[in-house]
Amino acid sequence: MGQDYYAILTLTKSAGDADIKKAYRKLSLKFHPDKNQETGTLEKFKRVAEAYDVLSDCKKKAVYDQFGEEGLKCGVPEGSGQTGAFTHGYTFHGDANKVFKEFFGGDNPFNEFYDGVDGDLSMGFGGLYGRGRKKQDASIERDLVLSLEEVYHGCTKKMKISRRVMNEDGHTSSERDKILTITVKKGWKEGTRITFPKEGDQGPNNVPADIVFIVRDKAHPRFKRNGNDLIFTAKVLLGKALTGCSVEIPTLDGRLLNIPINDIVSPGYQKVVPGEGMPLSSADTKQKGNLIIQFDIEFPKQLTPEKKQLIKEALF
């Protein structure tokens, strides 16, 4: 009994051209001697190549479907068969690597499809024909807006994404939601990038894109952030700016600081309070940046003659 080329490719006689190519792609990669060193796989690799060589050629396939392997290899009557002439019998050239290279393209096509990231063989551009390795889509970037309190204390954020996921048939996809969990560390600076590899849309001929969340500071009613430092603007009356005062500042962790200002508050003057800024994410979480107090001096809108005279006597 002759070889069953359809069975070798795990197909039935109803298989079409696309099915034949898909089956050869799968089995040739599975039994290629560069990947599979088990006993007998080389022979399987050759049988798969011969089966594909026959079934991918419409003339050979037609003869094989009608007369089987014996008719294919021994020849069959030409035309009506009354002339006594026979077709030339088919003989497989025996070079399975030649079939493999012609199918995938290139002088060393096997290496072309080796994915060094996960160790799997994968097909890319060209679908069933397998011309080139899969390319990854460009990263998808999204803002992760955080309040200063969230960055100060650290928190957990759950982000819902919608993406296309391949169905079990390997050809169609559907849109599904997924929750990604981000553990926000204390002191993360604006611009910090959190990457979720390959969480983008799936497709038959692509590697899903990475999804990247980028930390952005949410506007705060009291503070601005500059790196690890917090900046607070205090409004003081001109008289207190000249004679001294104290500034009360509610902190991000619920305390109330009372900072004495004994210097003359001149334009551009700043008061630095060490260790009352944001936690340092790259160091011991007990370390913090500074609190920088800037001043907005409020001048009186008008003065009585008596007050003007007193000021002149005090300053001039």
DSSP per-residue string spanning 176-189? EEEEEEEEEPTTPP
Identify the weakest region by mean pLDDT among 18-22, 43-47, 307-311.
307-311
Strand residues in 23-167 grouped as ranges (E): 135-136, 140-146, 155-166
CA distance linking residue 149 with residue 218, whole number of Å: 10
In the chain, domain spans: 5-133, 136-145+156-174+185-214, 223-306
Tell me, what's the pLDDT at 188? 93
pLDDT(106) > 70: no
pLDDT band at 285 (very low <50, low <70, confident <90, very high): low
Q: What is the pLDDT of residue 83?
A: 53
Q: Which residue has the tokens 């497709």?
A: 203
Q: What residues contact 79, with CB distance under 8 A and at least 6 apart?
A: 85
Mean local confidence (pLDDT), 8-30: 90
136-145+156-174+185-214 and 223-306, same CATH topology: yes
The pLDDT score that the predictor gives to residue 78 is 66
Rounded mean pLDDT, 182-188:
93
Residue 12 CB neighbours (<10 A): 9
Helices and strands per DSSP (H, E), number in the chain: 9, 13
**pLDDT recorded at residue 126:** 38
Q: What is the pLDDT of residues 205-225, one digit of tens each?
A: 788 899 999 999 999 999 999
- How high is the pLDDT of residue 85? 58
Examine the pLDDT at 81 and tell me if it is beyond 80. Answer: no
What is the value of pTM for the model shown?
Answer: 0.55
Taking the domain 5-133, which CATH number applies?
1.10.287.110
Confidence of residue 275 (pLDDT cuts 50, 70, 90): very high
User: CB neighbours of 95 closer than 8 A, spacing ≥ 6?
Assistant: 49
pLDDT given for residue 249 in this prediction = 96
Residue of 72 and 117 predicted with greater confidence? 72
Residue bearing tokens 């419409």? 58
pLDDT for position 64: 87
Task: Quote the pLDDT of residue 311.
Answer: 80
Q: How confident is the model at residue 202 (pLDDT cuts 50, 70, 90)?
A: confident
- Looking at domain 223-306, its CATH superfamily turns out to be Urease metallochaperone UreE, N-terminal domain (2.60.260.20)
For residue range 125-157, list pLDDT tens digits in order.
334 344 446 688 889 999 999 999 999 999 999
CB 126 within 8 A of CB 132: yes
Average pLDDT over residues 37-52: 88
Residue 87 and residue 63: Cα distance in Å, rounded?
A: 10
Mean pLDDT rounded to a whole number for the chain? 84
Q: Which of 21-25, 35-39, 41-45, 146-150 has the lowest mean pLDDT?
A: 35-39
Has domain 136-145+156-174+185-214 been given CATH number 3.40.50.970?
A: no
CA pair distance 116, 120, nearest whole angstrom: 8
Looking at residue 128, its pLDDT comes to 38
Min mean pLDDT across 20-24, 173-177, 245-249, 270-274 is at 173-177
Residue 248 has what pLDDT?
95
What pLDDT is attached to residue 154? 93
Q: CB-based burial of residue 274 (10 Å sphere; 0-12 exposed, 13-18 middle, 19+ buried)? A: exposed
Sheet containing strand 223-226, edge to edge, reads 223-226, 229-237, 291-298, 270-273
